[in-house]
Structure 1
Amino acid sequence: MTDLSGNIFFDGPAGRIEGLIKEGPGKVTRAAVVCHPHPLFGGTMHNKVVFRLARVLNESGFAVLRFNFRGVGRSQGEHDQGVGEKEDLLAAIDFVTNRYPGAELLLAGFSFGAMVMWPMACEEERAKALIAAGFPVSRYVFDPAIACVKPKLFVQGELDQFGEPEDLRRFVEALSGPKQLEIVEGADHFFEGRLSRLTEIVAAFVSEHFPLVEQR
């Protein structure tokens, strides 16, 4: 398999989807898809939180795909309020699992991207675990009764203006395990000045749930 790191395009339900993928050395045994924040407020796959999530996952041994939802950057189509974007995510999952058959899959998202990712990660059999950063629980209605027995990490800023920590605590308490909620002290929705703490938490989570096996 040739190294596919760099800008790519793959087919989606609304047309061509623009992505950026980074592989590591050796055989890919784990892969991740990272979803970006709200496109109507400037969210793209180049958002700094998305970039840091992708980087720490790649450093943890994942081949990582981040991509632009429909109508963003060079992705075709138009914004669809989170509905069609779920189909875009499914196309990204298809691309990654076809590219890396047998690899363990993790789904991650920031803000709007976490909202899009959440139900898909719970329902999609190919996804082993999920990471939600800046989960906008105070802006959208989520069903805590959804069956989701996969490992789940929620990382939230103490001062998050779109997902109040207390709202998120109540939501997470109602979920089935395994689950983990981390509140980053002094951080706002965008983890300004606290991105290093975010990546530390993510690295510890994936180390626990995706232990590295030494390749011979």
Structure 2
Amino acid sequence: MAATIQTIETLRGPAGRLEALLNVGNSAATYSALVCHPHPPSGGTMHTKVVYQAAKGFSHFGVPVLRFNFRGTGRSEGVHDNGPGEIEDVRAAINWLDHEFGLPILLAGFSFGANIAFRAGCGDPRIKGLIGLGMPVEAGGRKYSYEFMRDCTAPKLFLTGAEDPFAPRELMEEVFANAPGDTEMRWIEGAEHFFAGVPSSPAVKLDRMQLALREWLHAHFFRQTPVVEAAREAR
């Protein structure tokens, strides 16, 4: 489903204006969505391919989807804060969506953005579903903790490349084994952290990531909307 994209000028966080784009949904939308990008000092922005493809996955169901750059990234004001400030940026984006649409919110993030999104959204009654794409356990010398997960009772999807070095399967399953509520883990075979291929299966797996996301969204939130299968890449 194609989506009109608008530049948003009114999203502001504690550090100032946040550069943002909105994939416009249809007037009958029953949810809105927010997708958060990976680690800014490592080059992550709202234009990262995984973030863009995730936004398209939500747009398939006609929901408005907000993407934004964390403080100090792109044209967003402020400076990178290594986590605490970025959590506040996500909360500002949640507040913006709530104010603009007044709809229940589906919250997703990729890598660093997944950890930050969950930290901001867990326990917020406006958040009805959470999606962690490439949810990291350790990356670039940074260790990610998940003690806050005890407050995450909304349905959750962890969608990870089976060859992701930042989220080994055994460690991921150990960390999230006791996550409360409806929790699902899906592994994209032959994919690494960015859902690109690996030497044994070199084709990019972004289409499989998006399809898995859409299938989960359909099962939990959009049963009335058919899932149109994405073109699968050669295995």
Taking structure 1 as the reference length, the TM-score comes to 0.93
Q: CA RMSD in A?
A: 1.7
Aligned twin of 1:118: 118
Where in structure 2 are the equivalents of 1:25-104 lying within 5 Å? 25-101=26-102, 103-104=103-104
2:185 to 175, 181, 188: 181
Are residues 94 and 175 of structure 1, via their aligned partners in 2, closer, same or farther at CA, if it must alter by over 3 Å?
Answer: same
C-alpha distance in structure 2 between counterparts of 1:109 and 1:74, whole Å: 20
Aligned twin of 2:206: 195
Structure 1: which 4+ aligned runs deviate by more than 6 Å? Answer: none
Residue 218 (structure 2) pairs with residue 207 (structure 1): yes
Give the counterpart letter for 1:164 in structure 2: P
Aligned twin of 1:136: 136
Give the counterpart letter for 1:175 in structure 2: A
C-alpha distance in structure 2 between counterparts of 1:73 and 1:116, whole Å: 18
Q: Number of matched residues?
A: 211
Question: Quick check: 1:29–1:100 contact (8 Å CA) kept in 2?
Answer: no
C-alpha distance in structure 2 between counterparts of 1:188 and 1:178, whole Å: 25
Are residues 145 and 17 of structure 1, via their aligned partners in 2, closer, same or farther at CA, if it must alter by over 3 Å?
Answer: closer
Over residues 159-209 of structure 1, what are the superposed CA-to-partner deviations in whole Å (9 max), with x where a residue is unaligned? 111111111111221211200000111110000111111111110111111
Unmatched 5+ stretches in structure 2: 197-203, 226-235
Unmatched 5+ stretches in structure 1: none
Deviates more, 1:67-76 or 1:175-184: 175-184
Identity across aligned pairs (percent)? 41
Taking structure 2 as the reference length, the TM-score comes to 0.85
Q: Return the offset for 1:4.
A: 8.3
Question: Quick check: 1:144–1:174 contact (8 Å CA) kept in 2?
Answer: no
C-alpha distance in structure 1 between counterparts of 2:163 and 2:94, whole Å: 32
Aligned twin of 1:148: 152
C-alpha distance in structure 2 between counterparts of 1:61 and 1:209, whole Å: 15
Give the counterpart letter for 1:201 in structure 2: A
Q: Return the offset for 1:29.
A: 2.1
Aligned twin of 2:166: 162
C-alpha distance in structure 1 between counterparts of 2:42 and 2:169, whole Å: 22
Question: Quick check: 1:89–1:117 contact (8 Å CA) kept in 2?
Answer: yes
Q: Return the offset for 1:144.
A: 6.5
C-alpha distance in structure 1 between counterparts of 2:152 and 2:109, whole Å: 16
SS in 1 for 2:122: helix
Give the counterpart letter for 1:88 in structure 2: D
Deviates more, 1:140-149 or 1:203-212: 140-149
